Amino acid sequence: MATTAEDVEKAVALALETLSAAPPENWEKSAGTLTWTCWETAEHLADDLFAYAAQLGLRREPVNRYVPFELIRRRPEAPDGVILADREYGPQGLLQVLETCGALLAAMVRTAPPSARGFHSLGVADPAGTAAMGIVEVLVHTHDLAEGLGLDWTPPADLCDRVLLRLFPDAPTGTDRWPTLLWATGRGELPGHPRLESWRWDSSVR
């Protein structure tokens, strides 16, 4: 069950539905256990989606590094990236930036040939793998945001299952999918398994 452009669209739509309920004043709070604010975390998520779309756009060999966009950082503790939202437009504008970057990734996954490859330090990915990476970013960073914004967030088990199968082949299979994905990304406990102090996925083509 390969991850698809429709899966990317579904994950982003569910995240936007949840995040749109956040009180405007909460966006400067920390996002879960991250050192970033919720605003910065949402920008980082949008930037991830944009970057994965950009990587998948490369057609000429070698695909052996990230596309060299100039990265920007607004403060020392913030993430760096290409995508920054104009604060004049508030949280609604921020979510529009996120929605657009999700649409860019979905479009690239949908239109890229099966032979297309996107570089990532944890494995050069095909379109399905690139979709899976984007979906993981959406699911777990929306979890971080929900904690900081005071929202509830539980994504569908089928989405979690597909990205676990694609990116975390060694993850437990007889457990609830969402807690397992949180565990696999160092964000939660899983009965019978030690908490991960560090984690990584495998996005290489298999």
Q: Model-level pTM?
A: 0.96
- For residues 181 and 168, give the distance between their C-alpha atoms in angstroms, rounded to a whole number: 9
Fold of 5-184: Four Helix Bundle (Hemerythrin (Met), subunit A) (1.20.120)
| Confidence at residue 198, expressed as pLDDT on a 0 to 100 scale | 92
Radius of gyration of the chain (CA): 16
The stretches of 57-123 forming alpha helices (DSSP H) are 90-111
| Confidence at residue 63, expressed as pLDDT on a 0 to 100 scale | 82
| Confidence at residue 71, expressed as pLDDT on a 0 to 100 scale | 96
- For residues 112 and 81, give the distance between their C-alpha atoms in angstroms, rounded to a whole number: 24
Residue ranges of domains in the chain: 5-184
| Confidence at residue 62, expressed as pLDDT on a 0 to 100 scale | 74
Among 107, 205, 98, smallest CA distance to 145 is for 98
| Confidence at residue 43, expressed as pLDDT on a 0 to 100 scale | 98
What are the average pLDDT values for consecutive 10-residue runs of the chain, which has 206 residues? 95 98 97 96 98 93 88 94 97 98 98 95 96 98 98 97 96 96 95 92 93
> 177 with 161: CB under 8 angstroms?
yes
Token digits of residue 173? 């299979």
| Confidence at residue 107, expressed as pLDDT on a 0 to 100 scale | 98
